Amino acid sequence: MTTATVDLGGRVGCIHLADGVVVQLGGMLTDDNLPALREALLSPFPASCRDVVVDAGEVEDVTELALAVLVAAKDWAEANGRRFFVSRMSPLVAAALDICDVALPQLGGWPSAQPGIPAPRRAAD
């Protein structure tokens, strides 16, 4: 007999770089994750921090309060002179933000969408 286990816990990881911070979110973000979310997204930044980047591509579920911390993080970063971006967003997070009529700035995109950068070349046939 095979047994599968499902990890119902949320994950909040924070990587501090020389000039920014990357916050990785995953799993089911519940109210139990609020302290870790607040610590990663709403704590004072080091003086060298210029960018806050959130990877929410692996989030499988999110409570209203956890989503509120994510939205507040943008305002907190900008109020403290930092830029805030989301590098990836799961369809669930995107839908939750859409329901709340909230948009978060996305990092990157296709190079051809950025002014002054040529479109990528096609592969040879």
Strands 20-29 and 10-16: antiparallel
Instruction: Quote the crossing angle between the two packed helices 64-79 and 91-99, to the nearest 10°.
Output: 80
What the block records as the tokens of 49 is 């921090």
Which residues does residue 18 pair with via DSSP β-bridges, in sequence order?
none
Give 6-20 pLDDT, tens digit per residue.
456 899 999 999 999
Whole-angstrom distance, CA of residue 110 vs CA of residue 120: 9
Given this model, what pLDDT does residue 120 score?
Answer: 54
pLDDT on residue 107: 86
What pLDDT score does 5 carry? 42
Q: How far is CA 93 from the centre of its chain?
A: 9
CA 23 – CA 63 distance, rounded (Å): 18
CB atoms within 10 A of CB 30: 15
Could you say which residues of the chain have pLDDT below 50? 3-6, 111-118
Q: 61-83 burial by CB neighbour count: b if 16+ within 10 A, else e?
A: ebbeebbebbbebbebbeeeebe
What's residue 6's pLDDT?
Answer: 46
pTM across the whole model: 0.79
Residue 46 pLDDT: 87
The order of strands in the sheet holding 20-29 is 10-16, 20-29, 51-62, 83-89
- CA pair distance 65, 70, nearest whole angstrom: 9
